[in-house]
Structure 1
Amino acid sequence: MRQSRSYRLSVQNPCYNMTMESIKLKAYKHSIPSLEELLDTDTEKGLSSQEAASRLSANGFNIISTGRRFNILLLFLRQYKSPVVYLLLVAAALTAIYREWPDAVAIMIVIAINTLTGFLMEFQAERSMNALKQLTHVSVRVYRDGILQILEAENIVPGDVIYLEAGDIVPADGRIIKTAGLLVDEATLTGESVPVEKNERDITTEVLLAEQTNCLFKGTAIRRGTVTMLCTATGMRTELGNIAEMLETTIKPATPLEKKLAVFSSQLLILSLILVAFIAVAGLVNRQPLIEIIRIAIALSVAAIPEGLPVVATLALARGMIRMAKQCIIVKHLMAVETLGATTVICTDKTGTLTENDLELVQLAFPPAFTWNKEAPSSIRSDESYKRFYQVAVLCNTASVSPGKDGKLNTTGDPLEISLLKFAIQHGCDTCNGVATYAKTGEYPFSSETRIMAMQHQGGDRMLVTAKGAAEDLLQHCTHILENNEVRKLNAGDVNKWLKHTAWLAGEGLKPLAFAYNECEESRHAILDGLIFIGVGGFLDPPRMDIAASLSQCRSAGIRVVMLTGDHPATAIHIASQLGLADNTRAITGREMPPFNELDATGKKYWLQTGIFARVSPAQKLDYIKVLQEEHEVVAMTGDGVNDAPALRKADIGIAMGIRGSQVSREAADMILQDDSFNSLVKAIREGRIIFDNIRRFIIYLLSCNLSELLIVGTIALLDLPFRLLPLQILLINLVTDVLPALALGITKGDDAVMKKTPRLLSAPVISRAKWKAIVIYAVIIGTFTLLAGQVAVITSMNAGNVLFFTLIFSQLLHVLNMTDAKDTFHDNYIVNNRYVWLALVLSSSIVILVTIVPALARPFRLHLLNFEESLLVLFFSLVSLFVIRIIKKLGVERYARNSL
């Protein structure tokens, strides 16, 4: 490789950045040899690994900075930007004015503890989300050391030679070296809604960005064709980087869940203000000091709003997403988790999702009756049909297979194309020499609409066209057939015969693929015209053995599963029947699906009653989603191709395949299955339901606890009872009960019952009317028995204030054990079995005991150690509160089983 001084001095030469900047802005005006010289690279072999590492050190990673950096100091200061903190500061100021210094200091300590707790939880949530982001790396094919390798896109450097095809996202700016049928969506940069054609031709005049047809830009999408590109700019030096620098920091819109949580806060604030007004009037009637009324009012306001709720919810979502990531499920957006639990219909592909996606060529058939199958390998022949088939297998192919160091084969590309290369190698075909003797001059890329792929190669003084695809589509372009080593005219009988054979292969559960070729003296623009039919192959892709159990789970969960595939209908029906996917054996084909705007009510009903769709295009998938959503179904759609992106965006949950999925589909999706497995999708729905149930569970817990405090303080003020719950004591209770137990509930693993419930409505509130009633019931029970404990303490001449405080705090702590389903036993359920719940109870109790036994801490809170009689009284009423709630839930078991709390 050449060694130009411009790049060797790049690390130390201050002019280097200027040189790279000029290349970045004017790359379209440079010829390929000129850029090759400037960038000191080889467009055939790419960079060496050593040189690439040096350039990565000089240029930095190929990433776009968002301008938002995680700042610990700002995160800490943000904890003080809260109405709750403002109220506490007012309380501290008022107590200081009245020279009640212990209360003022204690309130400031509580403020510090609350803000520190919020800081730690948000810090953990931020770390969890950053860990999640690290799991979503984008890979790209790059020539390094003369070999096509798969690398992470962030490691690309100027001078790299990159290979892209339909479905890929362009990872950096670059100049096109060579291309075939290239169509690029540049809407992200230029706003142009129609994909533009690109080529490698030189441009000598000044043109606008949208007119730089010989260049590709980071973030745009390859819609059709293949391209080899020379990278000229990475990271913030790209055109996308320029836009990123110009963008001002925008405020991220709230997710639906965040909006629903905000509604809770507003409802609670209104409730607390109403109670505060009543209590203020009662205090004035009872001639209480004004400062006491103000302090109680502020404490009530604080007690009504669970200030840690948004942070705990975020942490629960982030933790759940990390847990899903460990199971090969990448959820890209927090709001997607909420939608997952409401999914009612899963529209799934067949290949790789319901099947293994480990294709193997097991049958071949050539005219007139030559057959080969895996069970009789000796039937391989050495005639013209096999020769032409090997040419198609090797030349009409973008995959690569090479020997690995461990003796295994290193493979890159489409599984079907890999299986063709493996077959050719296993049967003595020299694939390397087969490619080397031909030079590619044209290409017709595969698309979901045409289902055909063709290549044109120069071999000596003749042009060779090789093609493969779906038999019903490829035969339309064939005019001749190769039979008994001779070429003759193709007739209608031949077409019917081979279509029937294709249907037979599909009925046997094989994926059929037809092959054709043409040889002529000169290059032709329409390379599909006048093809010669060779024969048909059958590929085995067995169903995943563990899919049946997942499908059964979906049925129990009230989720309907529909197969939408581009495969032959007979293959789809065969796989569906093996898996028990559909109740009928009828499949609707793409040819039978009119456009959405021509679909009448009868047609829509027919679609809704069908579970198998075959030979469907991406546009038809989009139409089917529209029909489902008209019926208010919540749709999860899987996809892997570039043309699946619209359907993935249209679906309520778009799910891309991590292995075979294109970058475009992964960008459009809300979720990525790293193992392409349907089982992972079902696990994701289960996790989504558990996460949402956890959020709802700790909301119910927090609200019922806070409401019980409001009822107790309000009742004491209205009835002028002879004991008090001091504002500082309320703050301490909130500190102890609102954090650790809520966090423990947020990471509950759930149980199998979660997949035996019907999906909830997406529009339904997080807390239903029935659950609000339950919250009130819980609060009334906790408040009633706490007040009874205080009254008994008065009658028996105990310290009623201490008894009241400890009964309330331990009743609330034990209340966490009530956050299970009514049908569950008390001693064996997912709450009792959650070790974090018990850890939270131990730590929270320890904090209370510590505050009580340390005089300096106990004094501001007016607390002292309980004697034996007081301890028994607190324990009794705390346990009574727990068991009464459990009994009420059991008495209403049928109702609560449908609407568990």
Structure 2
Amino acid sequence: MTSEPALTPIQNAHELSSDHLADQLRVETKTGLTKKEAQRRLKELGPNALQEAKRESALTILLRQFKGVIVWVLAAAAAISFFLGDTVEGIAILIVLLINAITGFVLEWNASKSMDALRKLDTAPARVLRDGRIQEIPSDEITLGDVLLVEAGDVVPADGNLFDVNQLGVDESALTGESLPVEKSTDIPAADAPLGDQHNRLFKGTAVVSGNGQAIVTGIGQHTELGKIATMVEEAERTATPLEAKLDALAKRLIWITVGLAALFMVVGFIRQEEPKLLIETAIALAIAAIPEGMSVVATIALAYGMLRLAEKKVIVKRLSAVETLGGTNVIFTDKTGTLTQNRIEVNTVQLPEGMAEVRIDERAGKLEVVHGEEAVISDSSYHKLVQVGVLCNNADYEPREGEAPKEIGDPVEVALLKFALGAGVNPDEVTQQHPRKAEKAFSSDTRIMGTLHEADGRYLVAVKGATEEVLDRCNRVMKSGQTALLEQNEKETSRQLSEKMAADGLRTLAFAYREINEKPGDDFTEKDLTYLGLIGFLDPPRTEVTPALESCREAGIKVIMVTGDHPATALTVASKVKLIEPGEEIVLTGKDLRPIADLSAEEKERIMACRVFARVSPAQKLDMIDLYQQHGDIVGMTGDGVNDAPALKKSDIGIAMGQRGTQVAAETADMVLKDDSFTSIVTAIGQGRVIFENIRKFILFLLSCNMSEIFVVTFAGFLGVGNPLLPLQILFINIVTDVFPALALGVGRENRELMKQPPRNPDTPVLTSRDWWMITYYALVMTIAVLGVYWLGTRNLGMSQGMGNTITFYSLSFAQLLHVFNLYSGHGHFFRNEVTSNKYIWWALVICILILVLTYYVPFLSEVLSIQPMTNQALLLIVAAGIVPVLVIQVIRKLTGWDE
């Protein structure tokens, strides 16, 4: 006896008929699988669950903190210090390494929980047909070929092909970006139909909002569309942020500077036949001086401060470096549903035979207003009859509630009709009570209409809504200004054309009709003699605050691109309404137009990058588009709220999720979450990111000019043969104490609104430009000359000892660096009144550092560790002079030459 071939997930299932599929999966749709066969398949194919990715352990993340070049250099310096017997110095360096490692570990200990969020969609039980009986089983026990039963309120537990539907509507917005619920059918779509147009299929993780249906399971677990997205989330690489990359490049540059200076110093020392131990100690001092140990700590705190300020504005940052990355973003890919729109369906357009009106419902005021078109439309008798029919031919329930979200049950389009009635001043409950329902003709894919029969005052009212073509075919009269007349053929054609135009404008259109009679009709009460009322177009309304936010993006030089899985016409309509595109830019590309990035020609790439609206785009295509822009050198931000957005959120340089209406998957995959779902908050975050980068640049200028002054002091003293004016431990103390506090104060400086009126900085531009390096060198030379000057004067002319010379140099350089913070103002204002002098944190930093320096002199333990000698008043005057003179020289030259930062 030959065994049956193994089953595999069905490819291109939407192209197959249910009979063909049942044969291929060896299942009888009337009875389902047998219990024995289901268990066999479950054992062979595995459970209907998403695979769990291997997570990084805490130890792995911790060890990664010790892989940087700077870490290796400092570790080598510590090892040499221990070898030479300088235990205190070695321990101090190790403490610095430990602080930086702990900081990095804490920042990375936010391991992605996106897969956990995806798995939470698997928890609901499911109903299947087995052995001819309906059984409820855990969703992870569903297997290939199972006959699945779904109804309103269910979350679809697996992918499947429908073979029986009854008014089945499914909300697929989380998977495809489609705002409106999708009406399902058993018709086979085109072979190249995108996911959003495969109406004969159910997809795992989507929600059934109306009706019921039966389907044959064609994909489980990782082989569902949701599973494919889960795989992409796992495989999408989280690249280093631009700031991390630039700081790493800066660190490597500093290493080469250090190695070069240390090698030069060693060569000169050996030529002079100086003591090897002294040369090695000096080389260690140079290594410590060149590396700004506090840079990562200060950068972290500066970013954290920006994060807290954004939290106050309802922007939650999950990765600190993401704040700065957003500041450098020059391209933003935004989803439509829930980001540019409100992710809810509302009546947008009313088209009566007498005219058209585009309307908006103010829910707070409970009032409807005309925003475009003819005001008279909403006072016409035909309009009021249209509102009445919309309420009666309706199975939804809508209940506004004071102080909390309204209660909404049923199809979102029907809920929108009830809201529309309330806005028009009609109470739906009163209308339904006055017109009790006697019968209903449910919507079906065959008739494409819904009808209800009502009785009031001894007469009967038929209310009908549905597809324009089907409703018009059943109408022989039309209502105009409260009067009925014969419906001419040309009027029918006009209404059809209006419906097509509304659909082309991205609206979902329904036609409405009614009939009033004295006697109760038969079962065919919806089939003839109806009076046509008009059309209503539904739309997911744009968010009103988006338009000025997009204008701010344009002013800041940021390109915003819509990428959605929704219908092309709908995407263009929303893009026009929020002014994402200008008149004449009405170009939209669909997923069919996008080939894999590796296959694109230069002309195709240029065409894609010139387009601002993309529709019917799959998650994989979103990844390709982000990759295309990243290869172009852009810093890409991605906003989204659905499961389908998760891979792109992770792939982008900065992923931004919507917190209110967004899925948990999107929120946990993204770098930032907008609690208010407002695109305006993105603009706020961009401004904050630019401020933070400017602050980081400023404190790096400060730190490196201070560190370079230490290098110059040690190097020049060695070349001049005047001894070693700074000990390694003294340099380390300056770097992690007296340098850090002023740098930190610069890092939390207040906002500069002018930054949002400038284009984004070039992503290829390093943190420090060539001009910045010249400034650093200049600052360092001025401080070095002043400090070495007082050291020379004290040891050579005033007869001070080498120990006293070290002490003077230590305090002179510390004081010069503290006052150097006042040289870092931007040029706006003047020396005594600018963003530095008005920063209260600067003054607190100076007070703290001066107090610490005082403690190093008077606390025996500190003075002993740092080799501090008792000082005379004469030494104190030299220290004050060494601190003040560099500031005076720099400011005088600044005024004379007219340069600024």
The TM-score by the shorter chain falls in which range?
0.5 to 0.7
Q: How does 1:700-711 map to 2 (within 5 A)?
A: 700-711=701-712
Query: Which residue does 1:89 correspond to in 2?
Result: 78
8 Å contact 2:646–2:669 — kept in the other structure? yes
TM-aligned CA distance change 1:407 to 1:707, over 3 Å: closer
Q: Residues 545 and 260 of structure 1: is their aligned pair in 2 closer, same or farther, counting only changes over 3 Å?
A: closer
CA shift in 2, pair 1:121/1:672, >3 Å: closer
Task: Spell out the pairing of 1:124-135 with structure 2 (5 A cutoff).
Answer: 125=107
CA RMSD, 1 decimal: 6.6
Equivalent residue for 1:484? 478
Q: Which amino acid in the other structure matches residue 276 of structure 1? A: A
The alpha-carbon distance between structure 1 residues 68 and 827, as it changes in their structure 2 partners (threshold 3 A), is farther
Partner of 2:536: 536
TM-score (norm 2): 0.64
Q: Which residue is equivalent to 1:796?
A: 798
Q: Distance in 2 between matches of 1:697 and 1:226?
A: 62
SS of the residue aligned with 1:858?
A: helix
Query: Shift of residue 853 of structure 1?
Result: 0.9
C-alpha spacing 1:442/1:848, structure 2 compared with 1 (3 Å): farther
Kindly state the Cα deviation for residue 358 of structure 1 after the two structures are TM-superposed: 8.9
Instruction: Output one character per residue of 1:78-101: Cα deviation in whole Å (capped at 9) or x when no partner.
Output: 6999424533432332332xxxxx
| Greater Rg over alpha carbons, structure | 2
* Worse-superposed segment, 553-562 or 299-308: 553-562
Cα shift at 1:658: 3.6
Per the alignment, residue 844 of structure 2 pairs with: 839
CA gap of 1:251–1:596, structure 2 versus 1, over 3 A, is closer
Counterpart of 1:283 (choices 247, 256, 269) is 269
- 1:846-873 Cα deviation digits (max 9, x unpaired): 2222122112321232213543332232
Partner of 2:93: 111
* SS state at 2:399 partner: strand
User: 1:718 offset after TM fit, Å?
Assistant: 1.0
TM-score normalised by length of structure 1:
0.64
Cα 1:766–1:607 shift into 2, 3 Å: closer
Paired AA for residue 106 in structure 1: V
Contact 2:170 2:209 in 1 (8 A): yes
1:736 and 2:737 matched: yes
Q: Which amino acid aligns with 1:714?
A: T
Partner of 1:884: 889
Specify which of 873, 881, 886 is matched with residue 868 of structure 1. Answer: 873
Residue 399 (structure 2) aligned to one of 393, 398, 402? 402
Residues 1:686 and 2:683 aligned together: no
- What is the rounded CA distance, in whole Å, between the counterparts of 1:534 and 1:759 in structure 2? 50
1:573–1:587 CA contact under 8 A, matched in 2: no
Question: For residue 46 of structure 2, what is the aligned residue in structure 1?
Answer: none
- Per the alignment, do residues 250 and 75 of structure 1 end up closer, same or farther by CA in structure 2, a change over 3 Å counting? farther
Relative to structure 1, the CA distance from residue 858 to residue 455 in structure 2 (aligned partners, 3 Å threshold; closer, same or farther) is farther
Counterpart-to-counterpart distance in 2, 1:239 and 1:360 = 29
Indicate how the Cα distance of structure 1 residues 63 and 853 shifts in structure 2: closer, same or farther if over 3 A, else same: farther
Q: Measure, in 2, the Cα distance between the counterparts of 1:885 and 1:223.
A: 71
**Aligned residue identity for 1:791:** W
Report the Cα distance in structure 2 between the residues aligned to 1:391 and 1:785, rounded to whole angstroms.
Answer: 89
Distance in 1 (alpha carbons) for counterparts of 2:314 and 2:96: 36
Is the 1:347–1:562 contact (alpha carbons within 8 Å) kept by the matching residues of 2?
Answer: yes
Closer, same or farther: CA 159–704 of 1 in aligned 2, 3 Å = same
1:306 is matched with 292
Distance in 2 separating the partners of 1:169 and 1:294: 73
Counterpart of 1:263 in structure 2 is: 249
Are 1:329 and 2:328 an aligned pair?
Answer: no
* Partner of residue 259, structure 2: 273
Provide the rounded CA distance (Å) in 1 between the counterparts of 2:631 and 2:54: 37
CA displacement at 1:686 relative to structure 2? 0.9
Aligned match of 1:423: 420
Give, in angstroms, the shift of residue 143 of structure 1. Answer: 13
1:783 is matched with: 784
Q: Residue by residue, what CA displacement relative to the aligned partner does 1:148-190 show, whole Å, maximum 9, x if unpaired? A: xxxxxxxxx9899xxx99xx99899999999947799999xxx
- Aligned positions of 1:613-624 closer than 5 A: 618=617
Give the superposition deviation at 1:736: 1.4
- Distance of aligned partners of 1:574 and 1:112 in 2 relative to their CA distance in 1, 3 Å threshold: closer
Contact 1:316 1:747 in 2 (8 A): yes
In the alignment, the residues of structure 2 paired with residue 249 and residue 515 of structure 1 have an alpha-carbon distance, to the nearest angstrom, of 43
Worse overlay, 423-432 or 726-735: 423-432
How many Å apart are 1:682 and its aligned residue? 1.0
Corresponding position of 1:811: 816
1:169 and 1:783 map into 2 onto residues whose CA distance is: 74
SS of equivalent residue, structure 2 residue 764: coil
| Aligned residue number for residue 763 of structure 1 | 764
Q: Which residue of 2 aligns with 1:588?
A: 586
Q: 1:239 to 1:424 in 2, by over 3 A?
A: closer
Match of 1:853 in 2: 858
Residue 881 to residue 480, structure 1, CA distance change in 2 (3 Å) = farther
Q: CA deviation digits over 1:261-315, x for unaligned, max 9? A: 3332222222212211222233334443322221111221122222343454345
Distance 1:467-1:291 versus aligned 2 partners, 3 A rule: farther
* Aligned 1:621-640 pairs, distance under 5 A: 636=637, 638=639
Change (3 A) 1:643 1:408: closer
Contact 1:353-1:678 within 8 A present in 2 as well: yes
Q: Which residue of 1 aligns with 2:678?
A: 677
Q: Report the count of equivalent residues.
A: 753
Matched-pair contact (CA < 8 Å) for 1:176–1:228: no
Instruction: Flag structure 2 segments of 5+ consecutive residues without an equivalent.
Output: 1-28, 36-49, 125-136, 141-148, 176-183, 187-199, 215-220, 360-367, 370-374, 455-461, 515-520, 525-529
Q: How does 1:176-325 map to 2 (within 5 A)?
A: 180=168, 254-325=240-311
CA distance in 1, matches of 2:383, 2:895: 78
Provide closer, same or farther for how the CA distance between residues 645 and 889 of structure 1 changes in structure 2, counting only shifts above 3 A: farther
Superposition pairs of residues 528-677 of structure 1, within 5 angstroms: 534-537=534-537, 544=544, 548=548, 550=549, 553-559=552-558, 567=570, 576=579, 585-590=583-588, 595=593, 608=610, 618=617, 636=637, 638=639, 655-661=656-662, 671-677=672-678
- Matched letter for residue 771 of structure 1: D
Distance 1:215 1:349 in 2: 23
> What's the counterpart of residue 21 of structure 2?
none
One-letter amino acid of the structure 2 residue matched with residue 118 of structure 1: N
Secondary structure at the aligned position of 2:398 is classed as strand
Q: Report the alpha carbon displacement of residue 594 of structure 1 after superposing the two structures with TM.
A: 10
Relative distance call for 1:347 and 1:293 in structure 2 (3 A) is closer
Q: Is the 8 A contact 1:475 1:533 kept in 2?
A: no
Structure 2 letter corresponding to 1:588: E
- Tell me the equivalent position of 1:827: 832
CA distance in 2, matches of 1:240, 1:506: 30
Tell me by how many angstroms 1:458 deviates. Answer: 11
Which secondary structure does the structure 2 equivalent of 1:847 belong to? helix
Residue range with higher mean Cα deviation, 687-696 or 269-278: 687-696
1:515 lines up with 2:510 in the alignment: yes
What CA deviation, in whole Å up to 9, does each residue of 1:612-667 have, x standing for no partner? Answer: 86x96548997998997897665555555677778878876554444445667667
The 1:273/1:198 distance shift into structure 2, 3 A limit, reads farther
Measure, in 2, the Cα distance between the counterparts of 1:198 and 1:793: 94
| Aligned equivalent of 2:218 | none
Measure, in 2, the Cα distance between the counterparts of 1:382 and 1:588. 32
Change (3 A) 1:248 1:751: closer
The 8 Å contact of residues 79 and 119 in structure 1, kept in 2 or not, is answered as no
Secondary structure of 2:428's counterpart equals coil
Q: Distance in 1 between matches of 2:56 and 2:212?
A: 34
Q: Is the 1:814–1:878 Cα contact (8 Å) retained in structure 2?
A: yes
SS in 2 for 1:484: strand
Contact kept, 8 Å, 2:699 with 2:746, in 1: the verdict is: yes
Q: Secondary structure at the match of 1:697?
A: helix
CA contact 1:480–1:488 (8 Å) conserved in 2: no
* 1:588 alignment partner, SS class: coil
